[in-house]
């Protein structure tokens, strides 16, 4: 099945501008075009988009995603390099999760403080 850039944009909650930008930057080298020059996405393209969006949504720089995509296109001899990129990014994500859990604890403490304050005001 084929999908338009608008359909893909909606599916991934990305602007068509972002998809065009990703293509221009070499992150979507697999996207084909029809006779009119319109981009056409296929089901197999979604696996690529899934990993690209995942990496971007977890703050991997475009240049690093491009490096990863280029290595994928080079073939199986680059598997170790790709794994290394993903392992380093996984470590970054894990550190971010730790940071956010710490922030969540601070917010929870403040909420609990307000709940106690409300109870003391209501009970008086």
pLDDT tens column, 95-119: 999 999 999 999 999 999 999 888 7
Cβ(55)–Cβ(65) below 8 Å:
yes
Nearest to 12 by CA among 63, 67, 54, 58: 54
Which class is domain 2-123? mainly alpha
Question: Strand 32-33 relative to strand 2-3: parallel, antiparallel, unpaired?
Answer: unpaired
DSSP code of residue 60:
-
**Confidence bin at 94 (pLDDT 50/70/90):** very high
pLDDT tens column, 61-79: 999 999 999 999 999 999 9
So where are the chain's domains?
Answer: 2-123
Q: What does the angle CA 97 – CA 79 – CA 26 come to, to the nearest 5 degrees? A: 75
Q: What's the predicted TM-score (pTM) here? A: 0.83
Which tokens go with 92?
């970054």
Instruction: Quote the CA–CA distance of 117 and 104 in Å, as a whole number.
Output: 20
Cβ(12)–Cβ(54) below 8 Å:
no
* Cβ neighbours of 52 (radius 10 Å): 22
Which tokens go with 107?
């917010």
């Amino acid at each position: 099945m084929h999908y338009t850039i608008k359909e893909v944009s909606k599916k991934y909650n990305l602007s068509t501008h972002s998809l065009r930008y990703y293509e221009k930057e070499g992150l979507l080298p697999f996207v084909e075009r029809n006779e009119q020059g319109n981009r056409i996405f296929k089901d197999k393209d979604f696996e690529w988009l899934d990993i690209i969006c995942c990496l971007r949504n977890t703050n991997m720089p475009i240049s690093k995603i491009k490096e990863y995509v280029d290595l994928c296109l080079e073939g199986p001899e680059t598997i170790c390099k790709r794994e290394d990129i993903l392992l380093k990014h996984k470590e970054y994500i894990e550190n971010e999760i730790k940071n956010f859990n710490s922030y969540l604890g601070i917010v929870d403490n403040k909420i609990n403080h307000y709940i106690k304050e409300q109870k003391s005001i209501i009970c008086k």
